């Protein structure tokens, strides 16, 4: 619990960063990191908006042009576009828990929104933006697609050979998650401080 609070909880005062660590974005002569912190928030929401819109547009095209039609081969039978409706989590797992996955996606969005105001790291802004955009993309399907609100099936269409079918929102979530793991291993916190364990 203490580790989670250390990673997520960013001090609001410059000398509360802990262990003499300084915020790398601290502006000289003013409130440390505030203007650059706002730019990081802008990056987060710009990345999220791009990922969300890309996912939304791709699904609209798939539903209009590909659903109920033959799959399109992109690289032989190694990669195809094949429209399916997925009531489960990413990559088709857990179809019996659609409502639970909807609640989890909504919770992730709330956590990221709360974390955004304490964000001073550009890599974390990109990672969280990917997570936010992907979560919003699949949550939109859960809310607005059949069979009903919070039970909607997500549109998946990227079908590699010998792998589950997924969409661009899933890809954004996975890429954001991988980036967060890398940043954590490197000791970079969302507030821009670097720690060594």
Which listed residue (156, 189, 191, 197) is catalytic? 156
Active site residue 19: no
- Non-local (6+) Cβ contacts of 133 within 8 A are 47, 48, 49, 50, 51, 52, 55, 169, 172
Cis peptide before 141 (omega within 30 of 0): no
Which listed residue (25, 55, 141, 170) is catalytic? 170
**Which of 18-27's residues contact partners 24+ apart within 8 Å by CB, and which partners?**
18/193, 19/195, 21/193, 21/194, 21/195, 22/193, 23/120, 23/191, 23/192, 23/193, 24/120, 24/192, 24/193, 25/120, 25/192
What token pair was written down for 50?
């791009």
Active site residue 141: no
Give the span between the Cα atoms of 109 and 151, in whole angstroms.
18
Annotated catalytic sites, by residue? 156, 170
């Amino acid at each position: 619990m203490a580790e989670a609070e250390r990673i997520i909880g960013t001090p609001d005062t410059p000398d509360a960063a802990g262990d003499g660590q300084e915020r790398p974005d601290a502006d000289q002569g003013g409130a440390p990191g505030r203007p650059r912190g706002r730019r990081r928030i802008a990056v987060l929401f710009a990345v999220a908006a791009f990922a969300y819109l890309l996912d939304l547009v791709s699904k609209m095209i798939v539903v209009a042009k590909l659903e109920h039609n033959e799959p399109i081969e992109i690289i032989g039978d190694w990669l195809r576009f094949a429209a399916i409706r997925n009531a489960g989590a990413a990559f088709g797992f857990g179809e019996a828990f659609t409502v639970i996955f909807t609640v989890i996606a909504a919770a992730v969005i709330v956590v990221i929104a709360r974390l955004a105001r304490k964000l001073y790291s550009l890599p974390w802004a990109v990672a969280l933006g990917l997570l936010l955009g992907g979560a919003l993309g699949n949550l939109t399907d859960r809310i607005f697609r059949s069979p009903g609100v919070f039970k909607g099936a997500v549109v998946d269409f990227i079908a590699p050979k010998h792998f589950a079918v997924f969409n661009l929102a899933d890809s954004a979530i996975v890429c954001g998650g991988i980036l967060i793991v890398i940043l954590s291993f490197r000791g970079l916190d969302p507030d821009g401080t670097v720690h060594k364990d």
